[in-house]
Amino acid sequence: MTLAEEFATRNFSIYGQWTGVICIFLCFAVGISNLFHVSIMILFGAICVACSFLIIFVEVPLLLRICPTSAKFDTFMRRFTTNYMRAAFYLIMAIIQWLSLIKEASSLIAAACLLTIAAAFYALAGIKNQGFIGSKTLGGQGIAQMII
């Protein structure tokens, strides 16, 4: 199945997964840029960078197989296999970034917005009773099985 065919399925979990991939890059970039503040924004920037690494392991299941990680970490990451769990995961990360507005407005707003959109896509997939479908491009149902 090509990427265009995956998007044509109109399954919101595919949209959420690809929005999550964009979140990886955005969270890393704005997180790094906020590490140069001399205020509490350093903490929010560090959390944003950490979130980008967590999202990588949630959205690209192939990495759990090829990266040396602990059994506890693997168990924790495997909890996010349903649409509702992923929606909650993204919503918690979005709320943390929205809380950065208490101190000052910064580029973390972009990360908060995109994390909220990803949470909405996964929540819509859950509400519409669409099963989670991982993109084969990101190591979903096809590629990960060949590695075993």
pLDDT tens by residue, 41-100: 899 999 999 999 999 988 887 777 788 888 888 888 888 888 899 999 999 999 999 999
Count the helices and strands in the chain (H runs, E runs).
Answer: 8, 0
What's the rounded mean pLDDT across residues 10-27? 89
CA distances from 68 to 34, 79, 106 (A): 29, 18, 35
Please give the model's pTM, rounded to 2 decimal places.
0.84
Q: Residues 132, 138, 144, CA angle at the centre, nearest 5°?
A: 85
Inform me whether the pLDDT recorded for 141 exceeds 80: no
Res. 37 pLDDT band, cuts 50 70 90 = confident
Place of tokens 């399925």: 9
Mean pLDDT of the chain: 84
> For the purposes of burial, counting CB atoms within 10 Å of the CB of 5, is it exposed (0-12), middle (13-18) or buried (19 or more)?
exposed
Spatial contact of 9 and 3, defined as CB atoms under 8 Å apart: no
Spatial contact of 133 and 82, defined as CB atoms under 8 Å apart: no
- What tokens does 31 get? 């997180």
Q: With the C-alpha atoms ordered 82, 12, 137, 22, is the resulting torsion angle positive or negative?
A: negative
What's the rounded mean pLDDT across residues 27-48? 91
Q: With the C-alpha atoms ordered 27, 12, 6, 54, is the resulting torsion angle positive or negative?
A: positive
Inform me whether the pLDDT recorded for 144 exceeds 50: no
